[in-house]
């Protein structure tokens, strides 16, 4: 392989998951938890943090072991590693709060099949040194958590009139219940994607482009 290995640790290593390669808004990965558990900000935050933990821990272990894992069994090995950390966080959430555990339901266990994590293990952690893999995984986790919070915050605000369980609008507010139901997830995700695409397009227009005549001479 002639691929150049770049071992430098830069701000970009962390921030690409946060913005330029945001797993939800740019790569559209892990849509299942994004739509399912973002009916309140607290659920979104818990899901985001749990996923971040699994990303970072599995990234570190995969990066450390990558040299010894034969190609043929690498996916199986990654899945076992990921499943282990998911089980750990599953126990941890049960120990922290049963209410939260019941609210998140099966989606904690389903982190195992979240493609962000396996994708990062295969495409990044196994090819980079541990520190870099951890920093990148933390960035991706932060980006995922940020995206979940964007959805969860808006949905809870509109659908229940509260944020993190704190009632904001008083008793006169008529909650827009559809927002905390599954259709609300799609609506809010669509709105955020629209916003992100618009931002991307605008920054592309603002960026200096070669000036001159266009192809058809106008």
Partner 1 sequence: MNIPALQPRTPTAAMLAVLGGVAMLSGLLVVLAAQLTAPLIAENQRHAIERALVRVIPGAVTFRRYRIVEGGLAPARKEGDDTLYAGYDAQGRLLGIAARAAAQGYADMIYLLYGYDPRCQCIRGIQVLKMAETPGLGDRIMKDHAFLKNFESLDARLDPSGESLLNPIVTVKHGAKRNPWEIDAISGATISSRAVGKALNRSARKLLPAIHPLLQRIRRLREAQR
What residue ranges bind partner 1 (CB under 8 A)? 39, 65, 68-73, 76-77, 80-81, 83-84, 87-88, 91-92, 94-95, 97-99, 102, 105, 159-160, 175, 177, 180-181
Nearest CB to partner 1, comparing residues 95 and 215: 95
CB of 18 to partner 1, least distance (A): 29
| Residue 156: burial class (beta carbons within 10 Å; 0-12, 13-18, 19+) | buried
Find the angle CA(174)-CA(176)-CA(179) to the nearest 5 degrees: 155
Nearest CB to partner 1, comparing residues 142 and 180: 180
CB of 96 to partner 1, least distance (A): 8
User: DSSP character for 129?
Assistant: -
Nearest CB to partner 1, comparing residues 9 and 187: 187
Distance (Å, rounded) from C-alpha 148 to C-alpha 32?
11
Nearest CB to partner 1, comparing residues 9 and 100: 100
CB of 27 to partner 1, least distance (A): 27
Distance set, CA 188 to CA 8, 61, 142 (Å): 38, 35, 20
Tokens matching residue 72: 């043929």
Distance set, CA 51 to CA 18, 24, 72, 112, 192 (Å): 14, 13, 26, 9, 21
CB of 81 to partner 1, least distance (A): 6
Distance (Å, rounded) from C-alpha 8 to C-alpha 77?
27
Nearest CB to partner 1, comparing residues 76 and 123: 76
Nearest CB to partner 1, comparing residues 92 and 195: 92
Distance (Å, rounded) from C-alpha 125 to C-alpha 90?
23
CB of 147 to partner 1, least distance (A): 21
CB of 152 to partner 1, least distance (A): 13
């Amino acid at each position: 392989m002639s691929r150049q290995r770049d071992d430098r640790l830069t701000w970009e290593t962390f921030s690409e998951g946060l913005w330029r390669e945001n797993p939800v808004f740019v790569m559209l990965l892990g849509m299942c938890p994004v739509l399912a558990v973002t009916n309140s900000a607290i659920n979104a935050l818990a899901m985001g943090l749990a996923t971040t933990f699994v990303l970072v821990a599995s990234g570190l272990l995969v990066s450390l072991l990558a040299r010894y894992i034969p190609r043929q069994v690498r996916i199986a090995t990654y899945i076992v590693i990921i499943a282990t950390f998911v089980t750990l966080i599953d126990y941890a959430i049960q120990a922290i709060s049963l209410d939260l555990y019941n609210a998140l339901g099966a989606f904690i266990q389903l982190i195992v099949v979240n493609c962000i994590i396996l994708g990062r293990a295969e495409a990044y952690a196994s090819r980079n040194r541990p520190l870099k893999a951890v920093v990148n995984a933390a960035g991706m986790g932060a980006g995922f958590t940020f995206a979940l919070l964007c959805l969860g915050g808006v949905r809870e605000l509109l659908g229940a009139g509260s944020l993190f369980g704190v009632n904001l609008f008083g008793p006169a507010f008529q909650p827009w219940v559809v927002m905390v139901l599954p259709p609300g997830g799609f609506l809010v995700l669509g709105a955020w994607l629209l916003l992100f695409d618009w931002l991307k397009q605008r920054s592309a227009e603002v960026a200096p482009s070669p000036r001159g005549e266009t192809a058809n001479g106008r």
